[in-house]
A and B are shown apart, each in its own frame.
Chain A
């Protein structure tokens, strides 16, 4: 298999309403930044792979067609990916796969959401035929799983506040983050109103406009560029309404993590991974994913969070950029995790750089916590 690496990551400024740009302008902002970082001309791009969450979020169906000019796809192969909230991660994996397979030398991949064009909670709360209309957005869907996690492992309620405060403190070091909340702390989180018990307002992700792009290329195209080498990548899914499913600790997440660790030669993820950008749209998903991804035993995740292991200066920093809790352009949120992991091992994460980060993980999940995408990137090829 051909070795592939990320040679450019481009992001937009994330905000509640980017009214200064159209959807086309938004994706182009990320792409221009990625192309500049990669130091490439358009001729070098062999294909464009675009991902985003449901088209209902903006009401523009198959936007990859209308965006063809903006994403530089005219006359080139283009592919659209959609795997709900995990799509940013899945799109990165699919883009990299097209390089590793030898199909293309260099691929531009971009993901976006312009949530201000519609209302995602409305789009996620449709009236299903023949059923009571009680769907209450993503938070309403995940809150029962979180309650069951808390019950199962007797986790104290301040863990959620702690994650929410920590990620927003990290966001203060990232000028692109949507939420910059001066003085954010656990008290401020715990004082905010309950939305979907046990989740409070500040334990939930915002709705953001934004885009993230990456240029992924084959080893023989890299030249002298700074590279984040892709050491392992995988996607997994499981049936939402399948008997025996454990929504708190989905098997697809366990399997996906094991697959990338095996590919990357990681024996002990807690020790071998220097930092991780993990998809945490609601505070409690940090301890839940610590366990699901094999960083610790079941029931131990909240204890790692509690002893600051996931702080930016901790043993295993999580979401140095501020994470999904600080910026959530849904379709791009997964790719931001993958791109931020790449920036860390390239040494380009500026104020939220983890010192000496050599191996980093990017993670995304979506849908009813049944879609997973992950990768491991490294500063070295060996």
Chain B
């Protein structure tokens, strides 16, 4: 108990919430491939957009993305930020680079880390490739990829990345 004389009008009481997460069929298909070191996007049968990571349906067309589209682990940085502040509950030590990763052949991007490069040299449009953890550590998670690192290829004009229905 507090020995303070003043009445207490406020106290901190942290809570911990645990929950079960059911991946669903589309994410399960995707993560089973990620476990094997493969990135397989899912395509919309109508507009042909390729989603990675897939959520199981195309928000444009409202139909199931039931076409499996194998991709490589190469792509480009669509945009990025350098995070300078620690995030509550997050073990990563700032500054770190959080980037929108657009894999070749995919029509949306996802967030992942960029490393193995001086921060001031990171550019929008920079070509990058996944750096994987050792195979024995692979699980059903994009954490199998430690981060993405630049590769020696010409930058991409990100204006060309915008999906256009053909």
Which residues of A approach B to under 8 Å, CB–CB? 19, 59, 119, 121-122, 125, 127, 129-137, 140, 143-145, 147-148, 151-152, 193-199, 238-246
Contact = CB atoms under 8 A, between A and B. Distances in A.
Interface in B87-135: 87-92, 96, 98-100, 107-108, 111-113, 124
A242 B23 contact: no
A242 B106 CA distance: 11
Given A125-B89, A151-B124, A244 B79 contact: no
> What does DSSP make chain B's interface, helix, strand, loop or mixed?
loop
Given A130-B31, A242-B59, A243-B108, A136 B83 contact: yes
Contacts of B143: 130-132
B31 A147 contact: no
A240 B100 CA distance: 13
B65 to A, nearest CB: 10
A246 B47 CA distance: 17
Nearest to B113: A134
Nearest to B49: A243
A147 B81 contact: yes
A147 B142 contact: no
B1 interface: no
Contacts of B113: 132, 134
B7 to A, nearest CB: 12
Given A196-B83, A243-B107, A244-B107, A134 B112 contact: yes
Closest 9 A/B residue pairs (Cβ): A239-B59, A243-B49, A143-B81, A144-B79, A243-B107, A244-B163, A242-B59, A122-B88, A197-B82
A241 B55 contact: yes
A194 B165 contact: no
Of the candidates A119, A193, A239, A246, the one having the most CB atoms from chain B within 10 angstroms of its own CB is A239
A148 B124 contact: yes
B88 A121 contact: yes
> What does DSSP make chain A's interface, helix, strand, loop or mixed?
loop
B162 A246 contact: yes
Nearest to B9: A19
Given A125-B89, A125-B90, A147 B163 contact: no
Contacts of A199: 81
B81 A140 contact: yes
Contacts of B63: none
A129 B21 contact: yes
A119 B140 contact: no
Contacts of A240: 59
A122 B12 CA distance: 15
A377 B96 CA distance: 44
B6 interface: no
B58 interface: yes
B33 interface: no
B84 A196 contact: yes
Given A134-B96, A244-B165, A197 B84 contact: yes
Nearest to B27: A130
B162 to A, nearest CB: 6
B139 to A, nearest CB: 8
Contacts of A198: 81
Contact of B23 (A59, A129, A245): A129
Nearest to A238: B59
B38 interface: no
Given A125-B88, A241-B108, A244-B107, A130 B83 contact: no
A132 B53 CA distance: 13
Contacts of B145: 132
Nearest to A241: B108
Contacts of B51: 241, 243
A127 B89 contact: yes
A76 to B, nearest CB: 32
B69 interface: no
A268 B140 CA distance: 53
B164 interface: yes
B142 A130 contact: yes
27 contacts: A122-B87, A131-B141, A132-B141, A132-B145, A134-B92, A134-B96, A134-B112, A135-B90, A135-B111, A136-B85, A144-B78, A144-B81, A144-B99, A148-B79, A151-B124, A195-B85, A196-B81, A196-B82, A196-B85, A241-B51, A241-B59, A242-B58, A242-B108, A243-B107, A243-B108, A243-B163, A244-B60
B80 interface: yes
A199 B80 CA distance: 12
Interface in B34-59: 44, 47, 49-51, 53, 55, 58-59
